[in-house]
Amino acid sequence: MRVDNFARENLPPREHWPEFRLDDLGYPERLNCVTELLDAWLARGHGARPAMGTPDETWSYADLAARVNRIAGVLTRQLGVAPGNRVLLRAPNTPMLVAATLAVIKAGAIAVPTMPLLRAGELRFVVEKARIGVGLCDHRLLDEASRAGLDRIVAIGGGGADSLLSLMAAEPDVFAACDSRADDVCLIAFTSGTTGVPKGTMHFHRDILATCDTYGRHVLRAAPADVFTGSAPIAFTFGLGAIVLFPLRIGASTILLEQASPERLLELIRARRVTVCFTAPTAYRAMLPMLRPGDTDALRICISAGEALPKATWEAWHAATGIAILDGIGSTEMLHIFIGAPVEAIRPGATGLPVPGYDAKLIDAEGRDLPPGSVGRLAVRGPTGCRYLADPRQAIYVQNGWNVTGDTYRQDADGFFWFQARNDDMIVSSGYNIAGPEVEAALIGHEAVAECAVVGVPDAARGTIVKAFVVLRPGHAASDALARALQDYVKAEIAPYKYPRSVVFLDALPRTESGKVKRFALRGPTPQEA
Ligand code: 3UK
């Protein structure tokens, strides 16, 4: 069989790899992760159980497996995709996108998911960097994809004679999984590019299972009867793990939403008795005022990641629903969450402890270890880790075998990790070190504040000043008096020198498609003020 070694040949040099700790996981040398996530359930007689759905339809494990097998047939027999080839994927969160992603991996090829909002130029970068020939693209998103430089694009949905569904009709619903190695690349996930040109992070078959068997097993602890949902795009590894990998690994089910606004998320939780919800801190906050009695009766596990979960949000959600949100920090490089806390160990405001299987520590600017109680740069290692596709920035993320995430943390005497800021969000003003997120966590406790972001901006006198961008709750109007009230509020909550000297009201915060505040956009000239 033809095998394409591009990914293997473009892994970073060994000396730049992080150290991997796989001891307890015991994966065999040959492993196709889709066999474990899907086929194993059919073999165990679980085929009729629900696997993937939308608010309108539900696919059983057998239904999903049949789609995966037909698509794998289309890829290998009709589109000429060989093991190791990269395949671009582009669609909103739909069951067919999940089937297509798993099919690519089952066939031994490499899935390259892309965010639905990417434009042709951004897609072209991905296509060239990962040398992609074939793309599977939702029919509603073909326009930009058609100008991305792919050799062949097959439409998902839309009905034409050459659409994926038509091609699938000619294929049987069985497909023998490619006999991959556990350390074959099966996924290239691109970073969002907020910190420069996007980086392609490469993940192996074993990594896909490892995140489920560490975070999923020891922290999330969901069960086969659980019904998952979440708002993150599957193209973001947070979403991929949350609503595809974790539920499939344990035989549970997921309901996907194409437009997962807080309103729709809550409506789904209520109507479909969702039990596990993955979303961003701001979505929990936004759902709070919409909650009606009984809405969250079935819900039992809530996970927040992507940005720090402010203590005020944790407390308000807990007071309203009785549910203790699990905060967790993950990254595209690490694939998923590596610090979090199981429900009995939560400290509101802290991210948590290293997920079993991972080690975490703090280091100083020279890379020396810091003792607990210090504030420093976070370094982690475990079964997953950073391997950039042909990128010199590998040496920045991986230092001395540890993944250095770019975050400043404090570790307390009990070993808990408390997020301070992204390294570049530490504000140095008049000689003081101020963590923007700490000021945000204080501000958000004020009743008028719906959302906020705090950054350092240049100032002639002080070098840098603390500036807050605030979105108000309905019923509150922007005014100088309110700005002063917010400043006074912060001074009463945290050390007064941290208060925002400038307060600007906005209608909405600028966010990335993965839901993060675009802080870099706020550091420049002030966006449109409300
Ligand atoms: C920040 C957090 C504080 C942090 C992600 C869960 O966010 C994910 O991946 P990205 O590559 O960004 C990584 C960076 O985001 N961050 C994420 N979670 C938290 N900061 N508290 C948190 N709970 O700066 C990190 O370095 O976009 C999250 C799972 C998979 C992911 N890819």
Q: Which of 75-84, 173-182, 307-316, 422-431 has the lowest mean pLDDT?
A: 422-431
Q: Which of 238, 304, 347 to mutate to test the pocket of ligand 1 (most atoms within 8 A of CB)?
A: 238
The residue ranking higher by pLDDT, 393 or 530, is: 393
Q: Which of 280, 291, 234, 289 is nearest to 257 (CA)?
A: 234
- CA distance linking residue 310 with residue 197, whole number of Å: 29
Across the range 68-97, mean pLDDT stands at 98
- CA distance linking residue 162 with residue 159, whole number of Å: 8
Nearest residue CA, atom 26 of ligand 1?
A: 405
Cβ atoms 48, 199 nearer than 8 A: no
- At residue 187, does pLDDT exceed 50? yes
With tokens 């802080």, the residue in question is 519
> Helix or strand or coil: residue 160?
coil
Nearest residue CA, atom 12 of ligand 1?
A: 331
- CA distance linking residue 431 with residue 490, whole number of Å: 19
Q: Count Cβ atoms below 10 Å from residue 516 Cβ, excluding itself.
A: 19
Amino acid at 243: I
> Helix or strand or coil: residue 322?
coil
Cβ-based neighbours of 159, under 8 Å, separated by 6 or more: 139, 165, 166
Nearest residue CA, atom 6 of ligand 1?
A: 330
Nearest residue CA, atom 17 of ligand 1?
A: 306
Mean pLDDT of the chain: 95
pLDDT in tens, 209-223: 999 999 999 999 999
- CA distance linking residue 486 with residue 505, whole number of Å: 11
CA of 248 to the centre of ligand 1 (A): 22
Nearest residue CA, atom 13 of ligand 1?
A: 331
302 — phi, psi (to 5°)?
-120, 130
List beta partners, residue 114.
90
Q: Count Cβ atoms below 10 Å from residue 358 Cβ, excluding itself.
A: 22
In this prediction, residue 2 carries a pLDDT of 75
Q: Which helix or strand (DSSP H or E) is residue 480 part of?
A: helix 480-493
Cα–Cα distances in angstroms (integers) from residue 333 to residues 120, 231, 377, in the given order? 24, 20, 16
- CA distance linking residue 308 with residue 515, whole number of Å: 12
Query: Sign of dihedral through CA atoms 221, 222, 228, 234?
Result: positive
Of ligand 1's listed atoms, the one at least distance from the Cα of 331 is 9
> Helix or strand or coil: residue 456?
strand
In this prediction, residue 523 carries a pLDDT of 87
- At residue 156, does pLDDT exceed 80? yes
Across the range 130-146, mean pLDDT stands at 97
> Helix or strand or coil: residue 200?
strand
Of ligand 1's listed atoms, the one at least distance from the Cα of 333 is 11
Of ligand 1's listed atoms, the one at least distance from the Cα of 419 is 3
DSSP H helical ranges for 94-213: 95-106, 120-129, 142-145, 164-168, 205-211
Amino acid at 5: N
CA of 177 to the centre of ligand 1 (A): 32
Query: Sign of dihedral through CA atoms 81, 86, 88, 94?
Result: positive
CA of 480 to the centre of ligand 1 (A): 34
Cβ-based neighbours of 226, under 8 Å, separated by 6 or more: 247, 250, 252, 253, 275, 276, 300, 301
- At residue 19, does pLDDT exceed 90? yes
- CA distance linking residue 201 with residue 306, whole number of Å: 17
Local confidence band at 530 (pLDDT 50, 70, 90 cut-offs): very low
Q: Which protein residues are within 6 Å of ligand 1, measured from CB?
A: 191-192, 237-238, 305-308, 327-332, 336-337, 351, 405-407, 419, 422, 514
Q: Which of 337, 78, 279, 111 is nearest to 203 (CA)?
A: 111
- At residue 455, does pLDDT exceed 70? yes
Across the range 226-236, mean pLDDT stands at 97
In this prediction, residue 513 carries a pLDDT of 82
CA of 131 to the centre of ligand 1 (A): 27
Give 217: exposed, middle or buried? Use CB within 10 Å, 0-12, 13-18, 19+: middle
CA of 194 to the centre of ligand 1 (A): 13
In this prediction, residue 1 carries a pLDDT of 64
515 in the Ramachandran plot: left (φ > 0), alpha (ψ -120 to 50) or beta?
left
> Helix or strand or coil: residue 291?
coil
Nearest residue CA, atom 2 of ligand 1?
A: 307
CA of 176 to the centre of ligand 1 (A): 36
In this prediction, residue 399 carries a pLDDT of 97
Local confidence band at 109 (pLDDT 50, 70, 90 cut-offs): very high
Of ligand 1's listed atoms, the one at least distance from the Cα of 514 is 27
- At residue 53, does pLDDT exceed 70? yes
Q: Which of 129-133, 171-175, 340-344, 516-520 has the lowest mean pLDDT?
A: 516-520
With tokens 């406790």, the residue in question is 445
CA of 172 to the centre of ligand 1 (A): 40
In this prediction, residue 529 carries a pLDDT of 47
pLDDT in tens, 468-527: 999 999 999 999 999 999 999 999 999 999 999 999 999 999 998 888 898 888 987 665
CA of 27 to the centre of ligand 1 (A): 27
> Helix or strand or coil: residue 116?
coil
> Helix or strand or coil: residue 191?
coil
Across the range 256-269, mean pLDDT stands at 96
The residue ranking higher by pLDDT, 43 or 192, is: 43
- CA distance linking residue 405 with residue 376, whole number of Å: 11
Q: Can you give the pTM of this predicted structure? A: 0.94
Q: Which helix or strand (DSSP H or E) is residue 266 part of?
A: helix 262-271
- CA distance linking residue 360 with residue 370, whole number of Å: 11
pLDDT in tens, 233-262: 999 999 999 999 999 999 999 999 999 999
Nearest residue CA, atom 3 of ligand 1?
A: 308
Q: Which of 244, 326, 331 to mutate to test the pocket of ligand 1 (most atoms within 8 A of CB)?
A: 331
323 — phi, psi (to 5°)?
-100, 130
